[in-house]
Amino acid sequence: MKKYTTTASLLILSLVSSAAFAKVSPQEADKLGNSLTPLGAEMAANAAGTIPAWNGGLTSKNSTKSKDSGRPANPFTQDKPLFEITRANVNDYKANLSAGQIAMFEKYADYKMPIYKTRRTAAYTTELYDVVKQNATTAELVQSGNGIENFETTIPFPIAQNGSEVIWNHITRFRGGTAKRFTTTIPVQSNGSFVPVKMNDQLVWPEFLKGGRDAKKDNNILFYYLQQITAPSRLTGTSLLVHETMDQVKEARKAWVYNSGQRRVRRAPNVAYDGPAAGTDGLRASDNYDMYNGAPDRYDWKLVGKKELYIPYNAYNLLDTTAKYDDVIQKGHLNADYLRYELHRVWQVEATLKEGSRHIYAKRTFFIDEDTWGASVIDQYDGRGELWKLSEAHNIQFYDVDTPWMVAETLYDLDSGRYLVTGLSNEEPTFMVWGKKVKRKDFSTSALRRLGR
């Protein structure tokens, strides 16, 4: 793993000064693996005992290897819901729900959340734990919080001290290094009808390319991303290439699209901020992908603190290959029979649109899982300050490869009754391919043109 320095403007925090934030001391970092988990979550159970202590998570060393590492078997098939939250009893649980989640019960009479025993399955490799602990003593926010330096690979701030550091951890969280996915994105209309959009995509960090990170060629690059739509026919051949830059204010995200109708590659500067995402029927902004991505310079950020929230977790049922998309998709929302919610501690961070800046979301409230640093729930508000959309990430632990990541993410439009689900794979022969080494030239515009054709 190669250490690098960047001055990326990924996050702007309104309260920070021009001075660099102090890295934590070695004594403070020694809490990692003791009172804190190796990634910085509270090791202990909560006072009520409804959130257990972290005991190492679900790893390749303590679990039975799945027959299909891309679609791991559900290790909790014996678990039954402890209870269900419905419209009838939602008032009893409001303290542990977000505003967007509460709004779903108000809008849909049949909406429910099955609540299961909390299982803290998140885990990385020991090698990455060592990297994260080193980051705690070296990584710093610089340039008024606009960048980081002395950071390696993943999770620069396991002992986070402000909202900027928390979001940095979401942006840089480990996702296997190199992975290819075969998934379906489904825009669902208000009457429940839908047309699946099938696609495959590939994500790779420069450290995991053949030959590793190149100091010159990969300067300011966070990752490379390639996406191809394979169905329906009207979208087949549409492809997207992204060179995700660390500092997107200094150097905008580099994005290109191949349009099968025009048969040419063109730059795509609108693949950023609130630009519409292809294949989503206008439901998703570009920076909604992966719950949140891209340059956040249009927002001020505030760390509110921690709370206990019911969030999607251990969503192995969404990998059920005996289920059809017709089974999972319902009018208004996903079928709760395939969902699992658990009580977890989350970081709450508020993003408020800067005066003079433009975005369809005037405010966003993030709830970020303390064990993975992944955004699990986001409430999004329109320009009038009204609650508009709810995002949820349905995560699992890919225990074969020691990587926590989502198997689906949902984006509910609370006004129109439409919603988007991304990442489903129930009807796909293959879901994930991990660890395949790829070349830098595989993420060139020439490769995009060949892929489109």
Angle (CA) 344-348-353 rounded to 5° is: 150
Asked whether residue 347 is domain-assigned, the answer is: yes
Looking at residue 131, what is its pLDDT? 94
The answer to whether residues 367 and 346 touch, using CB atoms and an 8 Å cutoff, is yes
Nearest to 252 by CA among 7, 6, 9: 9
Q: Is 287 part of a structural domain of the chain?
A: yes
Closest to 369 measured CA to CA, from 90, 57, 30: 57
- Specify the pLDDT at position 7: 39
Report the candidate in 64, 122, 110 with the shortest Cα–Cα distance to residue 372.
Answer: 122
Its domain, for residue 404, covers 81-172+187-194+280-427
Q: Is residue 437 part of a domain?
A: no
Total domains in the fold of the chain = 1
63-80 residue pLDDT tens: 887 777 689 999 999 999
Helix (H) / strand (E) containing 305: strand 299-312
List the chain residues with pLDDT less than 50: 1-20
Residue 29 within a domain: no
Q: Among 264, 299, 287, 244, which Cα is nearest to 448's?
A: 264
User: Tell me: the pLDDT tens digits for 83-114?
Assistant: 999 999 999 999 999 999 999 999 999 999 99
pLDDT 10s digits, 340-380: 999 999 999 999 999 999 999 999 999 999 999 999 999 99
Q: How far is CA 300 from CA 10, 167, 189, 363, 413, in A?
A: 12, 12, 33, 9, 24
**Interval 144-155: pLDDT, tens:** 555 677 888 899
Grouping H, G, I as helix, E, B as strand and the rest as coil, residue 424 is strand
The reported pLDDT for the residue numbered 101 is 98
What is the C-alpha to C-alpha distance for residues 343 and 340, in angstroms, rounded to an integer? 10
Q: Cα(216)–Cα(56) distance, rounded to whole angstroms? A: 38
**Residue 441 within any structural domain of the chain:** no
Within-domain flag for 364:
yes
Question: Quick check: is 255 in a domain?
Answer: no
Rounded distance between C-alpha atoms, residue 21 and residue 150, angstroms: 12
Q: What is the pTM of this model?
A: 0.93
Model pLDDT, residue 13: 34
Return the DSSP state at 118: -
* pLDDT on residue 20: 46
Residue 260 lies in a domain: no
Structure-token pair, residue 130: 């060592």
- In this prediction, residue 147 carries a pLDDT of 66
| Two structure tokens written together for 374 | 């992944």
Quick one: pLDDT at residue 262? 73
Q: Can the peptide bond before residue 312 be classed as cis, meaning omega within 30 degrees of 0?
A: no
